[in-house]
Structures are given as structure tokens and as C-alpha cells.
A and B are shown apart, each in its own frame.
Chain A
Amino acid sequence: MTTFPARKVIEVKDLHVHFFTYAGVVKAISGVSFEIYEGETFCLVGETGCGKSVTSRALTRLIESPGRIVKGQIIFYRDSGPVDIMTLSEEELREIRGREIAYIFQDPTASLDPLYTVGYQIAETMVAHKTADWKTAFRKAISILKSVIMPDPEKRVKNYPHELSGGMRQRVVIGISLSNKPKLLIADEPTTNLDVTIQAQILDLLRKLKKDEQMTLLLITHNMGVVAEMCTRVAVMYAGKIVEIGPVMEIFKNPLHPYTKGLLKAVPNPLSKIEKLESIPGTVPNLIYPPPGCRFHPRCKYMMEVCRSKEPPLVEVSEGHKVACWLYVK
């Protein structure tokens, strides 16, 4: 088990994000709190609608109407000291975005402008953040492509996105996000759209780059295998809340929350002989009218009376391992 330095990179306190749609108010995130420490790979894992993507975007206030961050603090520990992202102006935020906190999204094709060459787009990020002028930036672009293990970088730098394969595009996107040497890299399902052999290469690349650049990585995924291979700590989200959080070994060896247990039993491990996959009955709840009490209770086989009416708090069960479930509250 890794011991982590006490230095935090970012800290989220009681975050609430609501979407004000014509169908009603979708409470996408209701009271999410966690910290990410320097040098670790932190995973947010959950199924569709759990709020993991929204959380990642909220970290730099990338939430657009009809969504709004209605409550909470996001403390980002810059080199110059901690700041609450919620209090920053647009100008200050723009300095952080793309430079100190960088993103990689799920669809590399959508993240690249089809009208400009790949080299141009890498250079553009550097020029925009004033880390280099155009001439230097273009030269650096080639070395960045080398660092993301792009085959034939001198040729590729002049290519347009559509001339590259999915895996190569994702490498370019990673290159762009790393060009300004960010402190925190947020990767939102970076390999979900890619083939499995390409996925393995991209994940490898991320691991290597994280080490070389001494970055912190926030990885969002729904794939438990990716979590096991990449992360040091993981937070399991369900219906807009964190239900369990802890070091990755702990969570896999000793899952506490019934949802976490269910998730792990529902995923087939190709290395072991599985007799039967266990499924979780029911479906993800409607976040406009979430169930009262614990949001998982309608699907939980350990449900008790209290689960129906009161929301369980996040309690620490062992070192670093917290869970939000009435089964573990004295």
C-alpha cells in the first residue's frame, strides 16, 4: 500500500450541483467531499448518472447552464497558496484552466478542431498561456508528440485530426493537455471509446507521463479493471453521492458498501472462473425526485428502516477507508 505525502492538490467540500431543466431540478451532485493528494492517481468510479463527469467539470467551474454549482468549496493548492475556485474571477480561472489543471475528455475527435493541424493545436495552448511564442511552440510540439509516443512525430505534426486514428488523436489530446506542465490532469473516460489494445497503450502512456512529469491524475471511469490498474485511491459514486472512498487495495479486497460489492460482483474477471455474475436489481434512480434517505436503499438487500428516511453520513471505518452506509454507523 502506498503512503501518500500529506500535501494536497485539490480539496472539495460539500459540493452541490443542480441542473435546472424544464423537467425539474436534477440534483446531479449532492454533498460530495474528497481530497486529492500530490502524486497519486485518484479515481472516480460509477455508472451512468452517478455524477462523476459533472464533478470533474465542476472542479474548474466548467458547468454550463442549465447547470449551476449551488453550494460548496473547491480549494485548489497552487504553488502560490490555496485558493477557493468558487471565489475566483473568470480571468483568474482561465489562467488555471489548461495550465495548472488540464483535461482529457472521452471523445478525442470532438476535442480537436478539424480545421487546424495537430501541431498548430498543440502550439496554440502554449501560446495562449504565454509559456512560449509561436516559433518555440511549434518546435516544442514535435518533442511533445515524441513524449506521447506518437509514431513518426515529424510527419504527424503537420497532419489534420481526421488523418489520424482514434488512438493517435487521444495521444495528441494528451500532448496538448501536458504542454503547459499542469499540476493536476483530469482524464474523463479517456479510453472508453478506444479499442482495448489501444486503451492499454494509452493507460500505459498516462502512467509513464505521470511519473516523468510528476503530475497528479484524477481519472474518471466506469471500468473497474481500469481502476485496479491505474489508481491509488478510489471513490465510488452513486446517484450524485460518494458512497465509499479509500485506497484501491482496500476497496477491492474489502468492499463495504452494498453498491460497491454489487459492482465488483457484476464485473467478470477474465482471469478467474466465474460461476455466475451477480446483478444489482432495479435501476438508477431519477435525480429529480431521488429516493429519501439513502439513495441506494430501493436496490439494497441489506436495507433497514433507517435507510428509508435518513441519509447515512460518510464515516471512517479504517485508515483512509470511508463509507456512507447505516450498516457501519454505530
Chain B
Amino acid sequence: MPLASEEVYEKKFLDKITDKLVDTVAGIINKIKPGWIVKNKSRIDEWKLMFYAFNRSPPGVIGAILILGFILIGIFGPYFAPYSYREFLYIEYGETYLVPPGTTVVSKGKTFYFPLGTDKYGRDLVSLILYGARVSLVVSMIVIALGVPLGIILGLVAGYFGGKIDEIIMRITDTFLAFPALILAIAFAAVLPERLRPIIIYNEQLKTILSIFFAADPKDAANFAPILSVILAIIIVWWPGYTRIIRGSVLSVRENLYVEAARALGVSTWKILTRHILPNVISPVLVLITLDVGAVILVEAGLSFLGLGAQDPMVDWGKIVYDGAQFFPDRWWLVIFPGLATFLAVLGWNLVGDTLRDVLDPRTRRSIEFKIKKKKPVPSSEEGGSS
């Protein structure tokens, strides 16, 4: 096969963007570790190739755009919201009560325009959705950031060491998996806030950090507790899935000869796990993570819809639906718009997850790859150099 660097690809506009992205990241790493680019040229080429394959899938690209939107709105949304989530306009301007989308209200000399309508407190739905995005983003990110590594570590240990350790870990995992997730989550979300609330309220630093995270007013500190409880609840029911998957992959990767060669070299167990086993089991996990972000958003919305999670006056998408459900179907916008936002966010992650699966599986990736190549690459009768 011609050398990777000699192959020529038909690049699309999108490919040039992703190329720039990869090069920028590589450049940054190179500044931290000089010479990194030279040593990892093959790796960089592979990343670029994976992006080309990804770019060839329209659903994948759409999903990526949706995710990008979700993340950007989640981070910057609250700062661009026309109104704060605490602005209960209804109190002063009664006419702002539950107005439909597109209404302009003139009251007491002030003009208000509500593109998506208002809720029962007279709060602008656009702002609510922007604030809610932040909470959804933070909750899903924390669940993944804490739950997944926990699951992975346990899976690695169980799979690699086997024997009693494996038995113990898997029995614990099975126990957690056997619990009906929703009920367990409800139990935690119902009980924990009582415990957490005092801790948060009396800790100034914690209060400040959390208010920045949730784009909330520190006065609402009492409400952080239920949100954190929901996060914790979801993490607890989430990690076992990862342990199972990772353990399965580790069991097969462990038998590969390069692991044995590493042991024969005298490589420490820790290095074997991180350098030889983990990189080779991570692909299915990456796919699962992207699909899971969507699932977590849904679960979190579901819990909020049940009245757990964010409490007044804080909002997240589920809570908006919870509040608005009583007015459905007359004041339909309170349910439809946050629902649509959730739908699009979850859809984005799912589309990316599916495409990622095709891209990361070397078998399906090859067939995409070769469609990209120009029809006449550099012919050579030797492989990989002289021998």
C-alpha cells in the first residue's frame, strides 16, 4: 500500500475546516511538548482521516452542528438572555401572564416583545430556555465526567485482574444494574437534598462556584441541592453500564500478544492498563458516551418533570415543561418549545454517536476512506519501505 503521506484525498470544504482544527490542536500540544508533531505524524494523519470519514456523513455533520449549538448556547446563552430567570414580570406587569409567542405587550410605558411567549410568572420563554440550557449542559457533563471514569476504572480492574476481584466488582455492578434506575434516582433525588442543602448554604466558596456553574443567583443556593442530588442519582445508576462494556472489551484485549509482550518486558501493571489496554478498549466507549449524553439529558428532564431536580425559581428544560403541563394544550408553547430544544439536543448527540460508531470501527471506516481517495494514488510495489 502506498504510504499514508503519499496518498491524495479529494477534500471537501468541511475537511479543510477539520484539518485546521486538528492542526491547531496539534500546534498547541507541540508548544507544550516540543517535537510532538514530528513524532506523531501518523497519529495526526489518522485523526484527519477520521474527520474526513465523519464529514462524509450528512447526519453526522448535522448532529455535530446541533451539538455545537447546544454547547455554545449552554455556555453563553444565559449571558445573552434578554431577561433573567428571576424577572417575574407578571408581578408588576400583569399583562405578561401567559402570553402566546410573538406577542408584544405594552404596559406602564414599557414595551415587551416575547418571541416565544411567557410562563405563569410572566417570564420570557426565550430567556428561560437559555438558562435551562446551561443547567442541562452542566448536569449532563458532570454525570458523564464523573460517572464514566468510575465505570471505566472498575471495568478495567475487573477485566484485567479477574478472579475474586472480578467477581466482587461484577456482583456489585449487577446489583446496581438490577435496580430500576428511575426508582433509584427518585429515591436519591428525594432524600439527598435535605442533607446537601445545609452544606451548600453555609459554604460561601461552594455557593459561589455553583452559582457560576448554573448561571444562577447565589440567593437560590438552596435550590442547588436538588440539582446536585439529581446529578448524583443519575451517576449512581449510570456507571454500571460502562463497567460491563469495558470489562467485556478488556477480557478480549487482555489476551492479545502485545499485552503479553509488555509483561515480558517488565512493564508495570498501571502502565499496561493505561497504555496498552485502555486505548484499545476506548472506541466503543466513546460511541456510548455520545449516545449517553442525550440519554442523560432526557433522564434529567424526566426527573425535573416529576418535580425533583430544579425548584422554583431555577429552571431547566424539564422544569419548564413541568410548570407548563397544567396549561397544556391551551398554552402549548410552554411544553412544545422546551420539548423541541431537548429533542434537538438529544438528536444531535445521537446522530454524532451513530456516525462515530461507523468512523471508529476500522472495518466500516475503510470503505468510507477509500471512497475519498483520488482514483490515481502514487503507485508503489513495496510496502512500508524497503525490506
Taking Cβ atoms with an 8 Å cutoff, the residues of A that contact B are 22-24, 281-283, 285-286, 289-291, 298
Contact = CB atoms under 8 A, between A and B. Distances in A.
B367 A281 contact: no
B382 A283 contact: yes
19 contacts: A22-B366, A22-B367, A22-B370, A22-B371, A23-B366, A23-B370, A24-B370, A281-B387, A282-B382, A283-B382, A283-B383, A283-B387, A285-B381, A286-B381, A286-B383, A289-B379, A289-B381, A298-B381, A298-B382
Would you list the 7 A-B pairs with minimal beta carbon distance, nearest first? Answer: A22-B370, A289-B379, A291-B381, A22-B367, A285-B381, A23-B370, A283-B387
A12 B108 CA distance: 99
B261 to A, nearest CB: 23
B372 to A, nearest CB: 11
Nearest to B386: A282
B362 to A, nearest CB: 13
Contacts of A283: 382-383, 387
A241 to B, nearest CB: 15
Given A281-B387, A282-B387, A283-B387, A289 B367 contact: no
Interface string B1-19: 1000000000000000000
A299 to B, nearest CB: 10
Interface string B362-387: 00001100110000000111110001
B320 to A, nearest CB: 48
Contacts of A285: 381
B178 to A, nearest CB: 34
A24 B380 CA distance: 14
Contacts of B382: 282-283, 298
Nearest to A297: B381
Contacts of B383: 283, 286
B366 A286 contact: no
Could you tell me the dominant secondary structure of chain B's interface residues? loop
A182 to B, nearest CB: 37
Most buried by A among B1, B366, B381, B382: B381
Nearest to A22: B370
A283 B384 CA distance: 11
Given A22-B370, A22-B371, A23-B370, A289 B380 contact: yes
A285 B382 CA distance: 7
Contacts of B366: 22-23
A22 B1 CA distance: 13
A281 B387 CA distance: 7
Contacts of A291: 381
A19 to B, nearest CB: 14
B4 to A, nearest CB: 14
A298 B383 CA distance: 13
Nearest to A292: B381
A22 B365 CA distance: 11
Contacts of A298: 381-382
A328 to B, nearest CB: 24
A23 B387 CA distance: 23
A131 B371 CA distance: 50
A286 B381 CA distance: 6
A291 B380 CA distance: 8
A198 to B, nearest CB: 26
Contacts of A281: 387
Nearest to A284: B383
A298 B387 CA distance: 12
A50 to B, nearest CB: 16
A223 B382 CA distance: 25
A23 B371 CA distance: 9
Contacts of A24: 370
Contacts of A23: 366, 370
A152 to B, nearest CB: 35
A291 B382 CA distance: 10
A311 to B, nearest CB: 15
A23 B366 CA distance: 9
Interface string B254-292: 000000000000000000000000000000000000000
Interface in B328-367: 366-367
A22 B369 CA distance: 9
Nearest to A24: B370
B290 to A, nearest CB: 26
B1 A286 contact: yes
A36 to B, nearest CB: 32
Contacts of B381: 285-286, 289-291, 298
Nearest to B387: A283
A286 B380 CA distance: 8
Given A23-B366, A282-B387, A286-B380, 8 more contacts: A22-B366, A22-B367, A281-B387, A282-B382, A289-B379, A289-B380, A291-B381, A298-B381
A21 to B, nearest CB: 8
Interface in B210-229: none
A282 B1 CA distance: 14
Nearest to B375: A24
Contacts of B387: 281-283
A23 B382 CA distance: 16
A290 B370 CA distance: 19
Contacts of B379: 289
A283 B379 CA distance: 16
A278 to B, nearest CB: 16
Interface in B140-197: none
A282 B367 CA distance: 29
